[in-house]
């Protein structure tokens, strides 16, 4: 087992429960570092929305993600968390959190259970690749699972440790190395060239659930960076012609925008920028009011009042919302109630670039599902499995990322267990 995030730990648990001796290696001084960071402000484990809506969050990767969710989806994940002795609750948004909100208590209890099951953790072990090719060494006619397993016994792995390079021999390997976001926590994408040596062409790693650059004026940036923009709606027409619309909030940054409302559109916005060099979304600053009402209120005489006071008294727009209007609307439009009202209801926000991968919450791209079988085993390297964020999929924040990481870790763990002749795959277990 290489990688100590949720996917790797879940695969380790499945293998240990099947009676397999499990050694887990991780480059960092401790496991679950990104998991702990995700839970710093409240660990969003999963989401309580209906299954159909939940599965749709995985876009064009749904056909490969959904079977894993059917075996270990939101309900099963919550039951698993409860079995650790951690209670959960559903927030007002439908998101599911542990009662204590933090990741650390849950991780401590999980690691205790894993150690009791015999899982051994080896920290500060950075994977360097394969010591020997992973191609079959037995006769080509070996086709039974038992024969294939024997053929591939003895995959040799190289690790850099604080003392010296170390060789480790394994019967099967589950890779759960994360994507390329937050490299300081261990997910640095250094595994990409290592998989190329076994014939896996990895889809380029790209930022997902990321912020975007706008290019604010110095006046706006210096005064409003860090300010939240609340109770707004964002709309964007994607490449299929569908109009995406959602209410929420986001945050002004030094260079642009970030936050939950932006992340919900991140994949479509990123793809548009990649194709055309920029993406334009529109902001509705008053989603609870219709356009005629806004026009009528702005057309009321303002007398000696300033425009700032007029916007505040008639529309309730002030602070960062008023500043956004000044930043993005032509000065002459403030003299025309219809044009200003149109900007209030559909303020163009031009995004020029996604923020770097290292700043993103998660990663798009990775190991393509076409390179894996249904148990997440590498087709060109039998006995080697992949799980978690290093797979080529993405999903918005809201519990969808973690749920699929847990589910794919279980799939890979049970797949490796079956490969070793110790148990059923996740599909066989679900069917039973």
pLDDT in the model for residue 431: 59
* Segments in 192-306 forming alpha helices (H): 192-196, 218-224, 260-263, 266-276, 291-299
Pick the CATH number of 6-208+358-431 from 3.90.1330.10, 3.30.70.260, 3.50.50.60, 3.30.530.20: 3.50.50.60
DSSP letters of 1-35? -B--SHHHHHHHHHHHHTT---EEE-SSSSS-HHH
Q: Where in the chain is the domain with CATH 3.50.50.60?
A: 6-208+358-431
Which residues are 386's β-sheet partners? 175
pLDDT in the model for residue 85: 94
Half-sphere exposure of 145 (CA within 13 A, CB side): 11
Task: Report d(CA 83, CA 324) in Å as an integer.
Answer: 48
Name the DSSP class of 377. Answer: B
Task: Report d(CA 142, CA 382) in Å as an integer.
Answer: 13
Phi first, then psi, for residue 244 (nearest 5°) are -95, 135
Q: What is the pLDDT of residues 222-256, one digit of tens each?
A: 999 999 999 999 999 987 888 889 999 999 999 99
Phi first, then psi, for residue 339 (nearest 5°) are -70, -40
pLDDT in the model for residue 70: 94
**Distances from the Cα of 386 to the Cαs of 119, 191, 373, in angstroms?**
19, 11, 10
pLDDT in the model for residue 360: 93
Task: Report d(CA 29, CA 26) in Å as an integer.
Answer: 8
pLDDT in the model for residue 428: 64
- Based on its alpha-carbon atoms, the radius of gyration of the chain, rounded to whole angstroms, reads 25
- In the predicted model, residues of the chain with pLDDT beneath 50 are 134-152
């Amino acid at each position: 087992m290489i990688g100590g995030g949720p996917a790797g730990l879940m695969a380790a648990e499945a293998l240990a429960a099947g009676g397999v001796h499990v050694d887990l290696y991780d480059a960092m001084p401790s496991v679950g570092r990104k998991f702990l960071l995700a839970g710093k402000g409240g660990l969003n484990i999963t989401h309580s929305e209906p299954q159909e809506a939940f599965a749709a969050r995985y876009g064009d990767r749904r056909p490969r993600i959904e079977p894993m969710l059917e075996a270990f989806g939101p309900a099963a994940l919550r039951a698993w968390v409860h079995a650790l002795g951690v209670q959960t609750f559903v927030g007002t948004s439908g998101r599911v959190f542990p009662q204590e909100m933090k990741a650390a208590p849950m991780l401590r209890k999980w690691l205790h259970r894993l150690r009791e099951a015999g899982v051994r953790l080896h920290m500060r072990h950075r994977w360097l690749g394969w010591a020997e090719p992973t191609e079959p060494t037995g006769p080509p006619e070996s086709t039974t699972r038992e024969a294939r397993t024997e053929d591939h016994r003895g995959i040799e792995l190289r690790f850099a440790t604080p003392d010296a390079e170390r060789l480790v021999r394994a019967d099967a390997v589950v890779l759960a190395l994360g994507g390329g976001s937050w490299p300081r926590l261990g997910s640095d994408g250094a595994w990409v060239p290592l998989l190329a040596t076994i014939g896996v062409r990895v889809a380029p790693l790209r930022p997902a659930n990321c912020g975007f650059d706008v290019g604010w004026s110095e006046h706006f940036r210096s005064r409003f960076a860090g300010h939240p923009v609340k109770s707004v709606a964002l709309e964007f027409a994607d490449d299929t012609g569908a109009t995406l619309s959602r209410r929420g909030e986001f945050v002004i940054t030094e260079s642009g925008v970030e936050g939950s409302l932006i992340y919900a559109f991140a994949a479509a916005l990123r793809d548009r920028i990649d194709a055309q060099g920029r993406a334009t979304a529109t902001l509705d600053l008053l989603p609870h009011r219709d356009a005629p009402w806004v026009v009528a209120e702005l057309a009321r005489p303002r007398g000696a009042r300033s425009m700032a006071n007029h916007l505040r008294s008639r529309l309730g727009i002030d602070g960062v919302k008023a500043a956004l209007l000044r930043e993005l609307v032509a000065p002459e439009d403030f003299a025309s109630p219809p044009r200003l009202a149109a900007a209030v209801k559909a303020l163009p926000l031009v995004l020029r670039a996604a923020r770097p991968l290292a700043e993103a919450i998660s990663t798009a791209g990775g190991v393509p599902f076409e390179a894996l079988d249904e148990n997440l085993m590498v087709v060109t390297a039998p006995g080697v499995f992949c799980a978690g964020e290093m797979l080529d999929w993405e999903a918005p924040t809201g519990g969808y990322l973690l749920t699929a990481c847990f589910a794919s870790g279980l799939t890979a763990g049970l797949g490796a267990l079956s490969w070793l002749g110790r148990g059923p795959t996740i599909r066989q277990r679900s069917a039973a």
